[in-house]
Amino acid sequence: MDFRIEGNRLMVSINAKGITANMQTDGSAFEGWIICIMAWLSDEVKEVILAWDVPSFGKDDKNQKLHYNRFIFRAMMFEDVFSWVTIAPVNRDEIHKIREMLPFLVVNYPKSKSKEKVSDSKEMHKGEAILERQLVDTMKEMVPITDHQLPVGLFKQIVKSEYTVTPRGASQIDIWQLDHGIIRIFELKDEDNNSIGIISELMFYVYVMYLLVKGTIKYPDSLANVKNNYRHINDLYLAIASGEVKNIEAVFLNFRFHPLIEIKKGDVIRIINDEMKKIQVHFKCQLVTQVL
């Protein structure tokens, strides 16, 4: 990822490796870096131009293509929501492709219970998974519809592997709540993870939930007939379908932030909220002070 300032413009260019990587990695988390730069250089930078190298894919590059599709989706929403962001002309056709696809996108949903315990010592981010479950148990005492691991994979019309548009499997909201017309989303990082990608991850989840609430993208029709309320998915589906949901809250939930965020934390949150308020989203930050 390359950054340079020309006049009062921040020019951001991302290479093929960055746009096909996981969104939480340093080379792909453009939202996090851009927002932090805006917080630090607010007097100098008034506009952001985002550009990237358009990749070519081989038959074995399926995962990279899914990450790229998610990147384009993120870039499109970043420009739509943030008034000072513009996609470079050379990349406008890529944005047009994903925008045309929006009315046909559906979101996957839980089809089983989540694991009650983290027993596999090889499980990735085991400490974070344990903390996640502890927090859910505690938070349910205040908000009964609290759950975790809510899928946010995007598919074209049908939730089947051959119709996958963005990564699915591990693409899930850590913790979420349905609370009197508010969908509250938490992105959790354990004490060893202060990645700047927390911003990019949480914003992607917000975009998906916002478009679901708005009706731009949808859950599959089959969800209406699902009897098992796995991870409270039926409660969420009915709340969205009935128009009950009016607002979304997004919460950074971690032990410590990346230094670029921590030192300018107030400015970072303010910048995000100033732009997000147009889609009824409010961001908060909350540090976990102890493991429950």
**Residue 121 pLDDT:** 41
As a whole number of angstroms, the distance between CA 242 and CA 239 comes to 5
Q: Is residue 216 part of a domain?
A: yes
Which of 80, 102, 124 is at the close of a domain? 102
Please state, rounded to an integer, the average pLDDT across all residues of the chain. Answer: 93
The percentage of the chain sitting over the pLDDT mark of 90, rounded to a whole number, equals 86
DSSP SS3 for 52: strand
d(CA 232, CA 282) in angstroms, rounded, equals 23
Are 33 and 90 contained in the same domain? yes
Question: Does residue 56 sit within a domain?
Answer: yes
Query: Among residues 102, 128, 157, which one ends one of the domains?
Result: 102
In a domain, 292, yes or no: no
Q: Are residues 97 and 122 in the same domain?
A: no
Asked whether the whole model's pTM tops 0.75, one would answer yes
The number of domains in the chain is: 2
Residue 80 and residue 152 in one domain: no
Same domain? For 119 and 255 the reply is: yes
Domain containing 94 equals 2-102
81 and 166 inside one domain: no
Which tokens sit at 145? 């519809």
Same domain, 133 and 270: yes
Mean pLDDT computed over 250-275: 96
Minimum mean pLDDT range among 140-144, 241-245, 286-290: 286-290
3-state helix, strand, coil in the chain (%, to 5): 40, 20, 35
- Please report the beta strands in 29-104, taking only residues with DSSP state E, as ranges in sequence order: 47-52, 85-87
pLDDT given at position 292: 45
Contact 205, 217 (CB under 8 A): no
Query: Are both 53 and 138 inside the same structural domain?
Result: no
Which residues are CB-contacts of 284 (< 8 A; sequence separation ≥ 6)?
Answer: 249, 250, 251, 252, 269
Within a domain: 49:
yes
**Does 47 share its domain with 157?**
no
CB 292 within 8 A of CB 134: yes
Same domain, 147 and 279: yes
Shared domain for 196 and 283, answered yes or no, is: yes
- Residue 272 in domain: yes
